[in-house]
Amino acid sequence: MKLPRNADPNIPESAWRQLDGRIATERRWSAVTLWSGIFIVAAIAIASFGVGLLGLGDANATDLFNTLTPPSWRHPFGTDDLGRDIFLRVLYAGQVDLVFGFVTTYLSLVLGLVVGALSGYFGGWIDSLVMRIVDLVISFPFIVLILAITAITGPGLTGAYIGVLAVSWALYARLSRGEMLAMRNRPFILAAETMGFGTGRIVFVHAIPNLLRSNLVFSMSDMVLNILTLASLSYLGLGVSPPMAEWGEMVAQGQKNLFNAWWMSTLPGLAIVLTGIGFCLIGDGLADRLDEGRR
């Protein structure tokens, strides 16, 4: 451990060590958070997408002689009431949920970021109007919206996509608009104006890159929320339609067998929880990292 220049020789070794130790522990913790989150999500993603490539079996293959069997070597997660292997179904469902989470989150981010940034930049009546729309969208009862959309599109994943996208962008818009308001009068934005740059350049080249940070951190928890939303919708019968595998739908199917075949609901439920934890850890770790970078 290198002592700083001109340090007082009377200072005991223990004091130096204590100082050094304190910071090291903190940094270790925040690294642990980030990397364990990445590990969890990566493992689930690789397993979910890899299973298709490896051709480990058909998630929809029924086996009416082996319904409701508990977890075993042949069926690590047991089988459901149609004899389908739950482990395979959980993995295939992972594809559906992860893709849903990713697409809804990042499409919403892009849309919300642009709307929020422009709204915050222009201010005035434009800002008021946009924010009222955002408020409306956020406060609208979500299930009613989904039902209305499903009535048009018919039951299935499409309805879920449209519904979540229709609402999710508003959160990013609000976040971005707030940050833009704070940034609006910072000298580098004013300088861009006085240098004669057009609005487009100022908002897209100068402002938005500085808004990305907070949006990305938020997107991690948003991802979790969107996946949970899909799971809830499927649980209610509004998301995927059978026989497509989806975690929430699997939880719903297993409900009637909760006491004689706990593995049907619980294990897909655990998959949801684990994925959620993974993304939250990444979000926390990222937030810590970005704070450090700022200092």
> Across the chain, how many H-helices and E-strands are there?
10, 0
Give the residue with the Cβ less far from another protein, 103 or 289: 289
6 lies in the binding site for another protein (CB under 8 A): yes
- Contacts to another protein from residues 27-56, by CB under 8 A: 27
2 lies in the binding site for another protein (CB under 8 A): yes
5 lies in the binding site for another protein (CB under 8 A): yes
Give the residue with the Cβ less far from another protein, 201 or 256: 201
Give the residue with the Cβ less far from another protein, 33 or 104: 33
Q: Which stretch binds another protein (CB under 8 A): 1-9, 60-68, 76-84, 130-138?
A: 1-9
Rounded CA-CA distance 289/29 in Å is 11
1 lies in the binding site for another protein (CB under 8 A): yes
Q: Which of 172, 180, 72, 79 is nearest to 120 (CA)?
A: 180
63 lies in the binding site for another protein (CB under 8 A): no
Other beta carbons less than 10 A from residue 14's beta carbon: 8
Rounded CA-CA distance 18/30 in Å is 19
Give the residue with the Cβ less far from another protein, 137 or 207: 207
| Cis amide prior to 243 (ω within 30 degrees) | yes
Two tokens at 74? 């042949």
Sequence-distant (≥ 6) Cβ neighbours of residue 71 within 8 angstroms: 77, 78, 263, 267
Three-state DSSP at 85 gives strand
Give the residue with the Cβ less far from another protein, 189 or 230: 189
- Contacts to another protein from residues 182-221, by CB under 8 A: 186-188, 190-197, 201, 206, 209-210
Q: Do 121 and 192 form a contact (C-beta atoms < 8 A)?
A: no
Query: Which amino acid makes up residue 163?
Result: G
Two tokens at 32? 């642990």
Q: Which stretch binds another protein (CB under 8 A): 4-12, 78-86, 130-138, 224-232?
A: 4-12
Give the residue with the Cβ less far from another protein, 8 or 141: 8
- Shortest Å, Cβ 202 to another protein: 10
Binding footprint of another protein on the chain (CB under 8 A): 1-8, 10-11, 15-16, 18-20, 22-23, 27, 186-188, 190-197, 201, 206, 209-210, 292
